[in-house]
Amino acid sequence: MKKLGFIGGGNMAEALMRGLLKEKVFAPADLIASDVDSSRRRHLKRRLKVETTEHNLEVLRSSRALLLAVKPQNIGEVLDELAMAMRPRDEPANGAKGKPPRPVKLMERLFISIAAGIPVARMTGILGAGARVIRVMPNAPAMVGQGMAALVRARGASKADEAFALRIFRAVGDAVALTDENLLDAVTALSGSGPAYVYLFVKAMADAGVTEGLPPELATRMALKTIRGAEENMRQSPLAAAELIRIVASPGGTTEAALSKFAEAGFSDIVSNALHAAAARSRELGRA
């Protein structure tokens, strides 16, 4: 039996596999992945040395835990396929030889989903009451080992299942367990969509630097290093964000001049409104 099977072998699945192997959480022989795209299967097998297949049910039958890394619009079809394989089957009719394969028992498998906006109740409604389901909201920096993920477990999943899932996502960054699934909408707005906000801010900083005469490559390089340095300083400092801002913004200086323009434009309100819009959209997708 494999320790973990991936249904869907896209970029996030590959990042998770790579992190798990790099951190020696699992060996290549512990993993298997299915994907409809033969080129993705060849890529994963060549780069990560993991077993691959085009059949989702092969992953189900050979893995103790399954990570569902498929698009939200495809999750229903995938869950239906898995649920069907876990239902008892009739004996062959008209004297046909052989018996149908033994169905996988629901509680024998852990299901971990990263399909955005798909609530636990929908997954357990298809797989069956008491299914061991964990819903996770990761983010794109997991692809470079700097991810942030939050997860919620269904009633049927145990604390051991939760710990197993945390190990997976901590191999590519940080991960936390929540008890209230509704908080995943806020997680989606903050860390799930958050990288795009940072990219936008860096682009705006670099573009402004270019208008002031800096070469584009240098402007982007300086903006990125500034973001990274500020992040590390904020992480290591015991001071609150407001105090760190005060230290940099000398009275009558350049930083104060810039911050006054942010305030005039309602920067904090813009950020707040953007996060509220993302959270509202996440809730809408969950009800769809």
pLDDT digits (tens, 9 = 90+) for 92-147: 444 445 565 677 888 889 999 999 889 999 999 999 989 999 999 999 999 999 99
Give the domains, in start order, of the chain with CATH numbers. Answer: 4-180 (3.40.50.720), 194-287 (1.10.3730.10)
Nearest to 50 by CA among 35, 65, 28, 30: 28
Please tell me the predicted confidence (pLDDT) of residue 267: 97
Q: If DSSP codes are grouped into helix, strand and coil, which group holds residue 1?
A: coil
Identity of the residue numbered 168: I
Give the three-state DSSP class for 31. Answer: strand
Q: Burial level of 77, CB count in 10 A (0-12/13-18/19+)?
A: exposed
Classify residue 190 by its DSSP letter.
I
91 vs 76, more confident = 76
Residue 148 phi/psi, 5-degree rounding, is -135, 125
Reported as a single tens digit per residue, the pLDDT across 170-192 is 999 999 999 999 999 999 999 99
CA distances (Å), 98 to each of 55, 90, 105, in order?
22, 12, 20
Per-residue pLDDT, 66: 98
How far, CA to CA in Å, does 14 sit from each of 9, 33, 52, 188?
Answer: 6, 9, 12, 21
For the chain, what percent of residues have pLDDT higher than 90? Answer: 87
Strand pairing category for 4-7 and 65-68:
parallel
User: CB–CB of 117/193 below 8 Å?
Assistant: no
Q: What is the pTM of this model?
A: 0.89
| pLDDT bracket for residue 222 (50, 70, 90) | very high
Residue 30: the pLDDT is 98
Q: Which residues pair with 4 in a beta bridge?
A: 31
